[in-house]
């Protein structure tokens, strides 16, 4: 994968919604019970039980979304000792979980710093332009709709799965889909791992198109050992939803600035100002 670091596509107004989404995702992550021990690779049972209870409460579960049934027993966050040794205590839930609402709350949950930072990087680089084109309010609802499309799309393909679905990837995939429709020729600075990280300036259609193709290939089970723990199908559905929703805006979208200079080499490196 190439790593995007900056796009050559200026905006007219401050992307407040994009910034707010990033702040909310980071705040929820650092506030998630038990996430510190999980991220650090700790094996403290109490932290793991707290994390599991929190995820079961707020994460989207395909089986719950499709069949509208919540489990009779859920982790409480407490630890205990059973017939098979120490473990997490399970009881009937003390809360009423709404499966449709869980799709929204799951958009702000992440399982690791790498998961969080990767999502926020893509949102920061590509979300500001999409927000600038749509406007703050419409962009927020666009983001949420893409997240719901990705969540329910994945659930339809995995209707019997009881594994929690978390992350902003589906909604952000919608942002990427909108970007490739609106500015396919915009130049994006990326780092390409080739012995070292080589900076290149590539068109958005190539960067995001390559990303989409990878997600589609991985969602079919090719190129990875099994399906893994990443909901690649949710990325595909979110991307397509973003493309379709952004298509009516394409005719009135101003083109990105024309690229200047070389596309590779020392002179092509981006210049940062403070």
Give the domain extent around 238: 12-221+231-249
Q: How many independent structural domains does the chain possess?
A: 1
pTM above 0.85, yes or no: yes
59-80: average pLDDT? 88
Please say if the pLDDT value at position 43 is more than 70. Answer: no
| pLDDT mean over 142-171 | 95
The reply to whether 177 falls in a domain is yes
Specify if 260 maps to a domain.
Answer: no
pLDDT tens per residue, range 212-248: 999 999 988 755 544 457 899 999 999 999 999 999 9
Alpha-carbon torsion (8, 263, 117, 218), positive or negative: positive
The separation between CA 14 and the C-alpha centre of its own chain, rounded to angstroms, equals: 22
Rg (CA), the chain: 20
The mean of the pLDDT values for the chain is 87
Q: Is residue 270 part of a domain?
A: no
Rounded to whole angstroms, the Cα distance separating 245 from 173 reads 12
What pLDDT is attached to residue 265? 42
Q: Which helix (H) or strand (E) holds 7?
A: strand 3-8
| 202 within domain boundaries | yes
The CATH number of the domain holding residue 125 is: 1.20.1540.10
pLDDT at 33: 86
Dihedral, CA atoms, 237, 243, 244, 245, nearest 10 degrees? 100
7 assigned to some structural domain: no
**Rounded to 5°, angle at Cα 150 from 189 and 50:** 95
Sequence-ordered alpha helix ranges (H) in 59-196:
62-67, 99-106, 113-134, 136-157, 169-182
Is residue 269 in some structural domain? no
Helix, strand, coil percent values for the chain (each to nearest 5):
55, 15, 35
> pLDDT digit string (tens) for 189-214?
999 887 788 899 999 999 999 999 99
Cα–Cα distance for residue pair 184/255, rounded to 1 Å = 9
Is residue 262 very low, low, confident or very high in pLDDT (cuts 50, 70, 90)? very low
Secondary structure (3-state) at 157: helix
Residue 26 located in a structural domain = yes
Confirm whether 273 is domain-assigned.
no
What is the rounded average pLDDT of the residues 138-158?
Answer: 97
């Amino acid at each position: 994968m190439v790593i995007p670091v900056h796009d050559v596509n200026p905006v007219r107004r401050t992307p407040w919604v994009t910034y707010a989404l990033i702040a909310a995702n980071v705040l929820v992550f650092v506030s998630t019970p038990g996430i510190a021990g999980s991220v650090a690779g700790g094996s403290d049972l109490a932290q793991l039980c707290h994390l599991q209870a929190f995820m079961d409460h707020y994460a989207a579960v395909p089986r719950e979304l499709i069949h509208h049934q919540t489990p009779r027993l859920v982790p409480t966050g407490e630890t205990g000792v059973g017939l098979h040794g120490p473990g997490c205590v399970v009881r009937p839930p003390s809360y009423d979980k709404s499966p449709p609402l869980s799709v929204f709350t799951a958009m702000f949950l992440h399982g690791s710093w790498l998961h969080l930072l990767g999502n926020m990087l893509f949102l920061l680089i590509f979300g500001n332009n999409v927000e600038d084109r749509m406007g703050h309010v419409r962009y927020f609802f666009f983001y949420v709709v893409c997240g719901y499309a990705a969540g329910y799309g994945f659930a339809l393909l995995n209707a019997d799965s009881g594994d929690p679905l978390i992350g902003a990837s589906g909604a952000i995939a919608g942002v990427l889909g909108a970007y490739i429709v609106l500015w396919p020729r915009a130049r994006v600075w990326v780092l390409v791992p080739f012995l070292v990280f080589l900076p290149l300036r590539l068109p958005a259609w190539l960067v995001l198109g390559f990303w989409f193709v990878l997600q589609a290939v991985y969602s079919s089970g090719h190129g990875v050992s099994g399906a893994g723990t990443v909901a690649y199908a949710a990325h595909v559905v979110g991307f397509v939803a973003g493309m379709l929703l952004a298509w009516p805006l394409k005719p009135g979208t101003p083109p990105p600035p024309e690229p200047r200079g070389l596309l590779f080499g020392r002179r092509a490196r981006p210049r940062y100002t403070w």
